[in-house]
C-alpha cells in the first residue's frame, strides 16, 4: 500500500466536493431565468456597455512601480533586522554596500521612469503616457 494514496484520495475528494455541490443544486433548484440574474455581477452597480473597451493604463503603471517598491521593502526589512549584527560580524562596508547598490539600481530605474514621463498623470483617458 503506497503511502501517497492518501494524497490521491484527498485530491479526488477535494475535486468532487464542488462538483457535487454544483450538480446537486442544479438538480434541486427550480429554474426561473430572469434578466437580473443573468447580468454580470458588478458589486451592485448596473453594468453599461460591453466588456471590450479601451481603458486608461495609468493605474497599471503606478501599480507596477508600487510592486517594485513593495518587493524592495520586503528585502530591506529583514536586512534592517540583522543589520547591527552584520556590521559586527562583517564590517560596515560589507553590510551596507550591497543594499546601497540595490537601492541605487532601483533609484536609477525610478529616475528614468519619472523623467521619461511614466508617472505623469495625463487627464485624457485615451492618451498614451508618453509623447
Partner 1 sequence: MALPALTPQYVLGLAALLVLVVDAFTPTSRKNGLLAGLTALAGVTSAGAAAWLYAGGAGRTTLFDGALAVDASTSFFTAVFGCVAALVAVASYDYVREEPHQSAYYALVLLATAGMSVMAAANSLVTAFLALELVSLPAYALVAYLKRDAGSAEAGLKYFVVGALSSAILVYGISLVYAATGVFGFAALADAVAGNAHVTVLGAGVVMLIGGFAFKTASVPFHFWAPEAYEGAPAPVSAFLSSASKAAGFVLAFRVFLLAFPLAAFEALGIPWTLVFAVLAVVTMTLGNVAAATQTNVKRMLAYSSIGHAGYALIGLAALSGPTSSDVAVVGASFSHLFVYGFTNTGAFLVVALAERWGVGRTFEDYAGLARSAPVASAVLAVLLFSLAGLPVGGGFWTKYALFLGAVQSGLWWLAAVGVVNSALSLFYYSRLVKAVWVDAPDETGVARERPTGIYAAVVVAAVVTVALLVAPDVVFSWADAAARALVSA
Q: What is the contact surface with partner 1 in residues (CB under 8 A)?
A: 105, 108-109, 111-112, 114-117, 130
Q: Which is nearer to partner 1, 47 or 109 (CB)?
A: 109
- Residue 124's φ and ψ, nearest 5 degrees, are -70, 140
**Cβ 6 to partner 1 shortest distance, Å:** 16
Q: How far is the CB of 38 from partner 1 (least distance, A)?
A: 30
CA atoms within 13 A on the CB side of 92: 0
Helix-helix angle 92-115:58-90, to 10 degrees: 170
In terms of CB distance, is 17 or 119 closer to partner 1?
119
Closest distance to partner 1 from the beta carbon of 99 (Å)? 15
Q: Which is nearer to partner 1, 22 or 101 (CB)?
A: 101
Cell numbers found for residue 59: 493605474
Considering the complex, what minimum distance in angstroms separates the CB of residue 115 from partner 1?
Answer: 4
Q: How far apart are CA 20 and CA 129, in angstroms?
A: 49
Q: What residues have CB less than 8 Å from 54, skipping those under 6 apart?
A: 125, 126
DSSP letter (8 states) at residue 25: H
Kindly tell me which of 28 and 53 has the beta carbon lying closer to partner 1: 53
Tell me the C-alpha distance between 85 and 88, whole Å. Answer: 5
Amino acid at each position: 500500500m503506497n503511502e501517497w494514496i492518501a494524497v490521491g484520495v484527498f485530491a479526488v475528494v477535494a475535486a468532487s466536493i464542488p462538483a457535487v455541490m454544483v450538480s446537486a443544486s442544479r438538480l434541486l433548484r427550480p429554474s426561473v431565468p430572469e434578466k437580473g440574474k443573468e447580468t454580470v455581477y458588478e458589486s451592485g452597480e448596473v453594468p453599461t456597455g460591453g466588456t471590450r473597451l479601451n481603458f486608461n493604463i495609468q493605474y497599471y503603471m503606478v501599480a507596477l512601480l508600487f510592486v517594485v517598491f513593495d518587493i524592495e521593502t520586503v528585502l530591506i526589512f529583514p536586512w534592517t533586522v540583522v543589520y547591527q549584527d552584520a556590521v559586527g560580524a562583517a564590517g560596515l562596508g560589507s553590510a551596507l554596500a550591497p543594499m546601497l547598490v540595490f537601492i541605487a539600481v532601483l533609484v536609477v530605474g525610478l529616475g528614468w521612469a519619472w523623467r521619461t514621463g511614466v508617472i505623469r498623470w495625463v487627464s485624457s483617458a485615451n492618451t498614451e503616457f508618453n509623447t
